């Protein structure tokens, strides 16, 4: 008899112990225990993150880089240690650099504007160049490219999804050409949960000579992309979607690509020398980090990355995928409910519509039962319009959510529909 090999199964999460680490979850809303299912918008923070930030604010708080005094040096060390932790977390290689931002939106604006600011001589984007953006994107990965196209005279092409919201490599192959300068795509669509074949698409675009941009906002709390394994010039994500603080985020990417960006934030801390009529910008990463950064936030974000790794990436992924599968099965069984992208089994969120009922009404009735979900276009209006089903209700899962909460969601939707119909 030959060897029988089993794929290692991720350890199941100890949910009561994990939930105890999230103070905000220990409350009732409208008399019912809070079921927080809006994690695609913002996740909650564990004690490990709160404690790390408190330690910084009560012990090391000072401005960085500019001080010779002890606190300033400690704060600088904390900031740079946070950068190193986050680089490891996303699998950055020696060719990569990581810049702190206020979130995904700032990171994507830094890329899209940085590629043409500073005058046409240095600009990567010029008139008649082509920018390809996937049709699954959050507005944060669309509007900056619309703006860049208008500012430079470049053309914006959209890689359109099919009727089910899937992207196809054959469609991308048709769009790529000698004028393609940028390709921007999400690692996970926040409105539907669709997980496009982004690794393959980034590779195709890089081969065509484009700079490649990955919006990893929905992927960093589970299914974290590994930068060194991707043909990715720029990757953006937010701290508040990965158990970290609000107002924090990252722009990571290839050093050579980041060098192409004209900085958006001009001022202190991003210069080598300054005269009254000119300045020499500093090397990366300081060059793109003008002004006083959110040092406490960076410390918290690094603590969030460590927390995810302590819990275990594979275990988190398996857990949220199972919750989604449970929710898809339960909600699809309700008469008149249509789940968008039910095939996206490796997503951590699901979106649905209910015949004749507006999602805002469903969301309001769920809130009355202590269940927090998000409703509307989810800042992805072109995709929602393309799918033609109207605004949706979205439930999104994190490592602390339970099967019991999903049952409450399913029962809550059924009850809401009874009332509203
Ligand atoms: C896929 C995606 N991209 C970008 C963003 C914008 O993130 P932030 O508001 O943190 O800048 C979001 C937020 O929902 C998102 O889901």
Tens of pLDDT, residue by residue over 284-317, are: 999 999 999 999 999 999 999 999 999 999 999 9
Sign (positive or negative) of CA dihedral 171, 203, 213, 279: negative
Among 217, 218, 301, the mutation site with the greatest number of ligand 1 atoms within 8 A of its Cβ is 217
pLDDT tens-digit series, residues 156-177: 999 999 999 999 999 999 999 9
Which residue puts its alpha carbon closest to atom 7 of ligand 1? 104
Which residue has a Cα nearest atom 13 of ligand 1? Answer: 41
Quick one: average pLDDT of 210-226? 96
Pocket probe for ligand 1: among 218, 243, 304, 374, the residue whose CB has the most ligand atoms within 8 Å is: 218
Distance CA 285, CA 270 (A): 9
Q: How far is the CA of 221 from the centre of ligand 1 (A)?
A: 13
CA 152 to chain centroid, in Å, comes to 27
Delimit the domains of the chain by residue range: 15-39+312-420, 50-309
Give the number of the atom of ligand 1 that is nearest the alpha carbon of residue 190: 16
Ligand 1 site-directed mutation target among 100, 104, 375, most atoms within 8 Å of CB: 104
Q: Which of 341, 37, 12, 307 is nearest to 161 (CA)?
A: 341
Q: What is the pLDDT of residues 354-365, one digit of tens each?
A: 999 999 999 999
Distance (angstroms) between ligand 1 centre and the Cα of 185 equals: 13
Return the pLDDT at 4. 45
Q: Is residue 291 left, alpha or beta, with left meaning phi > 0 and alpha meaning psi from -120 to 50?
A: left
Confidence at residue 8, expressed as pLDDT on a 0 to 100 scale: 54
Query: Does the pLDDT at position 403 exceed 50?
Result: yes
| Rounded average pLDDT over 65-85 | 94
In angstroms, the Cα distances linking 314 to 7, 223, 252, 268, 323 are 12, 8, 23, 41, 14
Give the pLDDT score at 3: 43
User: How would residue 66 be classed by pLDDT, with cut points 50, 70 and 90?
Assistant: confident
- Of ligand 1's listed atoms, the one at least distance from the Cα of 103 is 11
Shortest-distance atom of ligand 1 to CA 107: 11
Map the chain to HEC letters: CCCCCCCCCCCCCCHHHHHCCCHHHCCEECCEECEECECCCCCCCCHHHHHHHHHHHHHHCCCCCCCCCHHHHHHHHHHHHHHHHHHHHCCCCCCEEEEEECCHHHHHHHHHHHCCCCCCCCCCCCCCCEEEEECCCCHHHCHHHHHHHHHHCCEEEEECCCCCCCCCHHHHHHHCCCCEEEEEEECCCCCCCCCCCHHHHHHHHHHCCCEEEEECCCCCCCCCCCHHHCCCCEEEEEHHHCCCCCCCEEEEEEHHHHCCCCCCCCCCCCEEEECCCCEEECCCCHHHCCCCCCHHHHHHHHHHHHHHHHHCHHHHHHHHHHHHHHHHHHHHCCCCEEECCCCCCCCCEEEEEECCECHHHHHHHHHHCCEECEEECCCCHHHHHHHCCCCEEEEECCCCCCHHHHHHHHHHHHHHHHHHC
Take atom 9 of ligand 1 and give the residue whose Cα is closest. 105
Question: 305 C-alpha to center of ligand 1: Å?
Answer: 18
The alpha carbon of 74 and the centre of ligand 1 are apart by a number of angstroms equal to: 31
Ligand 1: centre distance to CA 105 (Å): 6
Split at pLDDT 50, 70, 90, the class of 1 is very low
- Which atom of ligand 1 is found nearest the CA of 105? 11
CA atoms of 291 and 392, how far apart (whole Å): 39
pLDDT at 38 over 90: yes
What mean pLDDT do residues 196-200 have?
98
What is the C-alpha to C-alpha distance for residues 283 and 100, in angstroms, rounded to an integer? 14
Strongest mean pLDDT among 8-22, 58-72, 373-387: 373-387
pLDDT at position 9: 61
CATH fold group of domain 50-309:
3.40.640
Residues with CB under 6 A from ligand 1: 41, 103-105, 138, 140-141, 186, 190, 215, 217-218, 238
Q: Is 232 a catalytic residue?
A: no
Q: Which fold has domain 15-39+312-420?
A: 3.90.1150
Does 179 score more than 90 pLDDT? Answer: yes
State which ligand 1 atom lies nearest to the alpha carbon of 240: 10
Tokens representing 36? 């927080």
Which residue's CA is the closest to the ligand 1 atom numbered 12? 217
Predicted pLDDT of residue 398: 98
100-119 per-position pLDDT tens digit: 999 999 999 999 999 999 87
The answer to whether 375 touches 393, Cβ cutoff 8 Å, is yes
pLDDT of residue 2: 39
Residue 356 confidence (pLDDT): 94
Give nearest CA residue, ligand 1 atom 16. Answer: 190
**pLDDT category of residue 120 using cuts at 50, 70 and 90:** confident
41 CA closest ligand 1 atom index = 14
Percentage above 70 pLDDT, the chain: 98
pLDDT tens-digit readout, 4-31 = 445 456 779 999 999 999 999 999 999 9
Read off the pTM: 0.96
Cβ 138 vs Cβ 217: under 8 Å: yes
Distance from the alpha carbon of residue 238 to the mean position of ligand 1, in angstroms: 7
242-271: per-residue pLDDT in tens? 999 999 999 999 999 999 999 999 999 999
Q: What whole-number distance in Å separates Cα of residue 383 and Cα of residue 394?
A: 14
The CA distance from 73 to 66, in Å, is 9
Alpha-carbon distances of 154 from 77, 110, 145, 148, 212, rounded to whole Å:
42, 18, 10, 8, 16
Nearest-atom number in ligand 1 for the CA of 249 is 10
**Sign of CA pseudo-dihedral 171, 217, 41, 89:** positive
Q: Which of 35, 230, 357, 379 is catalytic?
A: 379
Question: Strand 211-215 relative to strand 234-238: parallel, antiparallel, unpaired?
Answer: parallel
In angstroms, what is the span from residue 80 Cα to ligand 1's centroid?
A: 25
Nearest residue (CA) to ligand 1, atom 14:
41
């Amino acid at each position: 008899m030959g060897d029988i090999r089993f794929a290692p199964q991720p350890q199941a999460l100890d949910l009561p112990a994990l939930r105890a680490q999230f103070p905000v979850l220990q409350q009732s809303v409208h008399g019912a225990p809070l079921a927080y299912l809006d994690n695609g918008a913002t996740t909650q923070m564990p004690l490990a993150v709160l404690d790390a930030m408190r330690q910084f604010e009560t012990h090391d708080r000072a401005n960085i880089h500019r001080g010779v005094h002890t606190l300033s040096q400690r704060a600088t060390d904390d900031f740079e240690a946070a950068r190193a932790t986050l680089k490891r977390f996303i699998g950055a290689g020696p060719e990569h650099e990581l810049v702190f931002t206020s979130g995904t939106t700032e990171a994507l604006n830094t890329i899209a504007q940085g590629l043409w600011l500073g005058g046409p001589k240095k600009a990567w984007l010029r008139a008649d160049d082509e920018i390809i953006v996937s049709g699954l994107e959050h507005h944060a990965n669309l509007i900056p490219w619309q703006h860049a196209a208008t500012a430079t005279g470049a053309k914006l092409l959209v890689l359109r999804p099919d009727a089910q919201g899937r992207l196809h490599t054959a469609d991308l192959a048709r769009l790529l050409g000698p004028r393609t300068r940028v390709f921007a795509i999400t690692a996970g669509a926040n409105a539907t949960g669709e997980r496009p074949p982004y690794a393959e698409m980034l590779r195709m675009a890089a081969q065509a000579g484009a700079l490649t941009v990955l919006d990893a906002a929905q992927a960093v709390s589970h299914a974290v992309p590994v930068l060194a394994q991707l043909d990715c010039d720029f990757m953006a994500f937010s701290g508040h979607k990965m158990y970290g603080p609000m107002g924090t985020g990252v722009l990571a990417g290839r050093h050579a690509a980041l060098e192409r960006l004209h900085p958006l934030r001009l001022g202190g801390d991003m210069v080598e020398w300054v005269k009254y009529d000119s300045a020499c910008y500093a090397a990366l990463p300081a060059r793109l980090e003008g002004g006083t950064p959110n040092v406490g936030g960076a410390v918290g974000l690094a603590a969030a990355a460590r927390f995810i790794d302590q819990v275990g990436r594979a275990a988190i992924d398996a857990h949220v995928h199972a919750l989604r599968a449970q929710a898809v099965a339960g909600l699809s069984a309700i008469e008149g409910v249509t789940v968008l992208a039910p095939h996206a089994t490796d997503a951590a969120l699901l979106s649905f519509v209910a015949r004749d009922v507006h999602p805002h009404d469903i969301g309001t009735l769920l809130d009355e039962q202590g269940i927090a979900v998000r409703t509307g276009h989810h800042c992805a209006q072109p995709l929602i319009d393309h799918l033609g089903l109207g605004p949706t209700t979205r439930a999104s899962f994190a490592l602390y959510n339970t099967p019991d909460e999903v049952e409450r969601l399913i029962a809550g939707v059924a009850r809401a529909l009874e009332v509203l119909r």
